[in-house]
Structure 1
Amino acid sequence: MSLLPPLPDEIDIHPGPALLDGLERGPGLAAHRQQYDEPRASSLAELQALVEAVGLRGRGGAAFPFATKLAAAGRGRRALVVVNLAEGETASSKDTALALRRPHLVLDGAITTARALKAREVHVVLPGERPLAAERMRAAMAERTDGVRLVEHVTEGRFVSGQARAVVELIERRPNLPVTAWDPEAVSGVKRRPTLLSNAETWAHVGLLVLRGAAGYRLRGTTSEPGTTLLTVTSRGARPAVHEVAYGSRLRDVLPVSAAGSPGIVGGFHGSWATWPTLANALVSVPGMTSLGAPLGAGVVLLPGPSACCLQVTTDIVEHLAGQSTRRCGPCFNGLPALAEAVRGLLEGTGSRQRVEELCGLVARRGACAHPDGTVRLVRSLLLTLPDEVAAHQHGSCTVSSAQLAGAAR
């Protein structure tokens, strides 16, 4: 029943209207420059105005305003720029897709920003568990002659390796694990210097913005939410597929026909369960999908399909997440394994919903990083969105198996 995606470098990448436009040209620098001219040098004030003009938000999961981070980094001395390709979210492949097919768009955004901040180097954090993506990004880095030094780092390949503080620790040559911090990285990051750290998709959007300008960027999306976003759609038995969609588009248009009628998870392993009516009627939008109780998060849609037990899928994911924790704080060391055991108890009909809810309350907001909170979010969404499934297991049955038996009887 597991939906843990295997072989993360093996993905289907669909052409898109902006970031994924022109894939047939290839990933090399010469092909990239045939499509795009050299990015125009921008002052910090010009770049700040540009990202504010389109309301650019980060695509790493939190949808934080990029202009706010840029302004914070620009106020300090000797700021650092970090491209985070450590796609720790197991179900996401969008940064991998960019590394494989659009690496220079990512580097254009980061290098242009580094120049605006008067930073002499860009740190590029590569995914240790995705060797082909790392290899392609290295090849792209070797082609650049921008006068900005590109410094490579490789993660340990854990779920939490891409967390911002874990990346800071890696760059400082300490274990690639998250630690507690009181200031955001843009204020105090690597060696307490302002550190502008964003994922590859965010940097690709910055690159597109400096290459096409605000007017060109606004050709896609809506008036209030311009631009596009990348989504990784994974369904049972199929390779992960990366799509680029304009904000305001129907989510249903990138979902496979086989998913119709069944619930899915939006946002990744730290995401939320959503019913089929929610998936079928949702428009791709950060505030819009948050209001539906299915935040876009890391831009992932997981579709187990009609033959899958959603409680089994949740159990598999929570057990995986418990094994990926840093085990440095109580909520990770004790809380997540206990929560995984309690969720399995629900699946097997030996546990109680009350115990699961109690553990969610004990784990949430008490960890050194957001890993416990994300795990709790998934579990609570199951309880809230699919109560019939939970109730069926508490009575020793399963809605999926019951439906299959009823179909066989007919």
Structure 2
Amino acid sequence: MKTLQATSVIGDARLLAGLDQGRLDRQAHLWTHGAQPELTRAAYSELCEAVGLKGRGGAAFPVARKLASLPERGIEAVVVNGSESEPISRKDRMLLTLSPHLVLDGATGLAHALGAPHVLIAVHDAEAAMSVREAILERGDRLAIEVTETPGRFVAGEARAVLSALEGGPAVPPGRKVLPTQQGYHRRPTFLSNVETFAQLAVLARMGSRRFATTGVSAEPGTQLLTVAGAVQRPGVIETPIGVPLDTVLRYTGADPGPVLLGGYHGRWLPEASQQPLQGTGIVLALGADTCPLGEVHRVAQWLASQSAGQCGPCVFGLAGLADDFGRIVRGDTSGWYDAQRHLGLVPGRGACAHPDGAARFLASALEVFDDDLRRHLGENRGCGRPVHGVLEVSHG
């Protein structure tokens, strides 16, 4: 595993408070954040509704609505999804490694409020798993808290894949699309969200809705964690107010001019920095101007195809076909462009999980944003003249 990147803050530190001193053990955590209040289910629901808290795993589903969809009784577990299988992202493993008690506070506090007997933590990073296990030993929680290490495969981070892994099955999404709040762990109602969501719940419980809403935007107050990577002078995990402009983040990290990827390999490209407010993004990657954009995207297309769960045609054949299409585009073969357009129209909306849709969105965005490079590759020169430096990471570090 690569060493965790640096942390920094634009504005006030909440989730990252105290981390300038390194990992927070139980004593340092309490000194930094204070004791976790005991709240009822109704209190959690009211707080989440008041600030419009959304899940921080990519889907941005309102937490209050998720709580409302659970039955009054019979909730089996609270599940912390720490299977951060996006190669670029570091924010969740950073929280589990350096501030595990904040995540545990959010999970155990909610479990007590819901009457759930189990807190299950799925994590694919060995260092993060060790940190959480150490933190559990420092606590006196009256709950069964279990840590399960999951595969680092991209689709293994999908909610239903996580539940399958926790039950001892393969870490792949099953074909059925049933919400965890209805049939989760052992087919019982389950509250499942990602690591940052539980850390935000712990902060919200302590601060209350009024103080929590003193930063961010009115429609979605609070802070967010961003993994900033690529052609930047200061890569790492940054806590910012929600709605901070993209160009503010890029200036702060010393990013090179050029295209920007938002949201990782299921996200989308922008041609350059802008005043666009960042909400629910999670990942900001500056590509820079020294590498071949289409060559970089081709590497990712190959990796995305290799991450298929092998359950449906759009994923198995569609993503493999797109990887081949982009390879031919890079080599200057115009047939690759035509085939890519055809495949991008066939893949979305037909898969057993969201992986084909996300991959297609990423690749379609690349063809749109890198139009000038596309013309160079498909023109007389059959290339843009730049090497592929591997700015886009395609391994689980």
TM-score of the two chains, using structure 1 as the length reference: 0.88
Q: Distance in 2 between matches of 1:239 and 1:141?
A: 32
- Secondary structure of the structure 1 residue equivalent to 2:216: coil
Alignment of 1:56-67 (within 5 A): 56-67=53-64
- Secondary structure of the structure 1 residue equivalent to 2:140: coil
Partner of 1:12: 6
Q: Does 1:272 align with 2:268?
A: yes
Partner of 1:283: 277
Compute the displacement of 1:285 (Å): 2.7
Q: Distance in 1 between matches of 2:319 and 2:349?
A: 13
Residue deviations 1:326-376 (CA, integer Å, cap 9, x gap): 112111221111110011111111233221011112211111111111110
Partner of 1:154: 149
Partner of 1:79: 76
- Alignment CA distance shift 1:233-1:401 (3 Å): same
Residue deviations 1:248-299 (CA, integer Å, cap 9, x gap): 32222322676343002110011111111xx23222234xxxxxxxxx2xx1
Q: Does 1:300 align with 2:283?
A: yes
Partner AA of 1:47 in structure 2: Y
Q: Does 1:246 align with 2:230?
A: no
CA contact 1:258–1:305 (8 Å) conserved in 2: no
Compute the displacement of 1:399 (Å): 7.5
List runs of 5+ in structure 1 lacking aligned partners: 1-6, 287-295, 403-410
CA contact 2:56–2:196 (8 Å) conserved in 1: yes
- Secondary structure of the structure 1 residue equivalent to 2:66: helix
- Alignment CA distance shift 1:306-1:232 (3 Å): same
Q: Does 1:263 align with 2:263?
A: no
Residue of structure 1 aligned with 2:303, choices 307, 314, 320: 320
Partner of 1:387: 371
- Alignment CA distance shift 1:389-1:157 (3 Å): same
- Alignment CA distance shift 1:218-1:261 (3 Å): same
- Secondary structure of the structure 1 residue equivalent to 2:217: coil
CA contact 2:36–2:206 (8 Å) conserved in 1: yes
Partner of 1:22: 18
Partner of 1:293: none
Compute the displacement of 1:398 (Å): 6.8
Partner AA of 1:311 in structure 2: L
- Secondary structure of the structure 2 residue equivalent to 1:146: coil
Q: Distance in 2 between matches of 1:139 and 1:240?
A: 28
Q: Distance in 2 between matches of 1:93 and 1:388?
A: 32
CA contact 1:93–1:240 (8 Å) conserved in 2: no
Q: Does 1:102 align with 2:99?
A: yes
Partner of 2:137: 142
Partner AA of 1:181 in structure 2: R
Residue deviations 1:43-100 (CA, integer Å, cap 9, x gap): 1111111111100000100111011111112445233100111101111110011012
- Overall identity of the aligned pairs, in %: 37
Partner of 2:356: 372
Partner of 1:219: 214
Residue deviations 1:102-157 (CA, integer Å, cap 9, x gap): 11111111111000110111001111xx2222221221122121211101211011
Partner of 2:175: 180
Partner of 1:352: 336
Partner of 2:46: 49
Partner AA of 1:194 in structure 2: P
CA contact 2:227–2:284 (8 Å) conserved in 1: yes
- Secondary structure of the structure 2 residue equivalent to 1:336: helix
Partner of 1:338: 321
- Alignment CA distance shift 1:247-1:136 (3 Å): same
CA contact 1:10–1:239 (8 Å) conserved in 2: no
Residue deviations 1:213-245 (CA, integer Å, cap 9, x gap): 112211221222200111001114878510011
CA contact 2:330–2:383 (8 Å) conserved in 1: no
Compute the displacement of 1:9 (Å): 4.0
Q: Distance in 2 between matches of 1:142 and 1:334?
A: 46
Report how many aligned residue pairs link the two structures: 382
CA contact 1:263–1:303 (8 Å) conserved in 2: yes
Partner of 2:394: none
- Alignment CA distance shift 1:68-1:395 (3 Å): same
Partner of 2:389: none
CA contact 1:9–1:133 (8 Å) conserved in 2: no
Partner of 1:112: 109
